[in-house]
Amino acid sequence: MLKILDRYIIKTFFGPFFFIFSVLFFIFIVNIIWVQLGQFMGKGLSTWQIVKLLFYLGVSVISMVLPLTILLASIMSFGEFGERYELAAMKAAGISLTRVMVPLLGVTAIMAVMLYFFSNNIIPDFQRKAKNMLFNIAQTKPALNFTPGQFIDQIPGNMVKFDKIYGENAENIEGVFVHKKASTYENQQTILAEKGKFIPAVNKNYLKLVLYNGYVYDDNFAGRGDNVRLKQPDQVIKFDSLVSHFDISDIINKAIEEEKITDDYRFQTFNELNKTIDKTKKDNDKFFTNINNDVLNQTNSVISYMDTKQNRAKAKPKQLLKLDTLKSEKRLEIINNAYSRLDNLKSTVEGKGNEIDPGIKYYSKVVIYQQRIVTYSFTCIIFFLIGSSLGSIIRKGGMGLPVIIAIVIFIIFYIINVSTENMAWAGKLNPYLAAWIPNIVLFPFGVWMTYKALTDSQLFDAEKYKVLLKPITNLFVKNKEHKRYQ
């Protein structure tokens, strides 16, 4: 049974908790509205449809909102206890700070467990509903919005500009410019056309564009050296009509998931994600093995060519040829061929590296998503330890200093979270470790803050720091004492 003191502590905690949770949830929802605003504009959606869609999308932010709410609410509630001298009264009555923290620690542990089941069972279902609803919107309304006379990069991998757009569904265009985005050593392509028209494609992941009266400019640079690139002429093709298909699956996957897709990792529970991780790992291992064999075979080919034992025309058995003993023409031929083979091998290795990156990134995404189902629950407990300790030390309630301190702590947590995530996506950090590093970093800080609070540490006492820094400040302060008193 809860005692009167426990009920009072819990009641004081939940007062700011519900207020802060509502404010933070609204802020995150506004952020979603801002991000998705382009998807809503000009779609003809009803107010109820927009509210329903935002609710589906907003449910997923609870896993981030709850830890921050616990941090803020614990700082504010314990700060109010200290500001109203209730902590001092409790200690005078023989009630330790540990005894005050226990009921709220139990409440936080319950919320952490609830967050785990919520993230594991409810959020995936709402994610599926949100993606399906967005897909249905995209099926009946245009998925892309173009502005006449402006360069737009909405189509992945391309930069486009249309001088004029008209028609009932804005399907007719004039003054077409389409440029394929490519790096310095990739093939470049630019298309210019007088007019064109968007036509529904059979595959919904593609955008079909029919162009009329134009030119295609091609620069075949891929895999060519700098000397060849300088001499490479442009290839120009004139056409009366040209049909182009643009892959817009990235756009669909960012905001819209095809309704029939049910194996997206964001729709799965913790145990289901284990199977996805195992399958992804096996696929990556198989892919890496094939790439390793290809590179190894090409490397062996280069080594075999460079091994002068293959040139046995003028050499005795098991005798190596020296380049100095060959004629200059033959020597240059061997060196040029060897350089070309090495250059091709380097290009192959770089190309294979680019093929490996998507597999590593996807594997890291799945692992981090799975681990965060658990890590955010532990974050709730860590944030409570930090918040309750800071509140009892600073002894300030309200929305002033406690909010500033909580925001600083959360920003540090968020920066660590994002940094480790990007490192894992790039293959520079184990994704399991990346998901847990924020908690690993903040947990010792939470324990240290709890120790300081239990020992009545004057952590934010300015006079204490002035005494510690007095020997240093005296070096920069002139002695103003009158000479006759010396």
Q: What is the pLDDT of residues 115-142, one digit of tens each?
A: 999 999 898 888 888 777 776 665 544 4
Residue 79: which H helix or E strand, with range? helix 62-83
| CA 382 and chain centroid, separation | 23
Tell me the domain boundaries of the chain.
Answer: 4-141+374-469, 158-247, 265-365
List 160's β-bridge partners, or say none: 152, 178
Report DSSP letters for 444-477, one per residue: HHHHHHHHHHHTT--TT-HHHHHHHHHHHHHTTS
Nearest to 427 by CA among 381, 350, 358: 358
Nearest to 374 by CA among 271, 243, 454, 244: 271
More confident residue, 107 or 189: 107
Token couple for 426:
């790039």
Residue 28: which H helix or E strand, with range? helix 4-40
More confident residue, 68 or 396: 68
More confident residue, 331 or 162: 162
Q: Average pLDDT in the 312-328 region? A: 52
- Between CA 17 and CA 107 the distance in angstroms is 12
The two beta strands, 235-247 and 158-166, are unpaired
Nearest to 437 by CA among 368, 357, 359: 368
How many of the other CB atoms lie within 10 Å of CB of 116?
Answer: 18
Residue pair 64/31 in contact by the 8 Å Cβ criterion: no
**Confidence bin at 312 (pLDDT 50/70/90):** very low
Q: What is the pLDDT of residue 227?
A: 62
Is the pTM above the cut of 0.75?
no
Report, in angstroms and rounded to the nearest whole number, the Rg of the chain calculated over CA atoms. 33
| Nearby residues of 427 by Cβ (< 8 Å), 6 or more positions away | 356, 357, 360, 361, 364
Q: What is the pLDDT of residue 112?
A: 93
Q: Could you give the C-alpha distances from 262 to 131, 265, 267, 276, 361, in angstroms and in order?
A: 11, 9, 7, 12, 20
How many of the other CB atoms lie within 10 Å of CB of 168?
Answer: 6
Q: Average pLDDT in the 96-108 region? A: 87
Mean pLDDT, the chain, rounded, equals 76
Mean pLDDT lowest among 84-93, 450-459, 474-483: 474-483
Strands ordered across the beta sheet of 235-247? 158-166, 172-180, 188-199, 206-219, 235-247
* Local structure of residue 315 (DSSP, 8 states): S
Token couple for 122:
């409810």
**Confidence bin at 91 (pLDDT 50/70/90):** confident
User: Does residue 1 carry a pLDDT above 50?
Assistant: no
For tokens 């991998």, the residue is 157
Q: What is the pLDDT of residue 226?
A: 61
User: Does residue 252 carry a pLDDT above 60?
Assistant: no
For tokens 């935002």, the residue is 54
Report DSSP letters for 101-149, one per residue: HHHHHHHHHHHHHHHHHIIIIIHHHHHHHHHHHHHHHHHHS-S----TT
Mean pLDDT lowest among 151-155, 159-163, 304-308, 433-437: 304-308
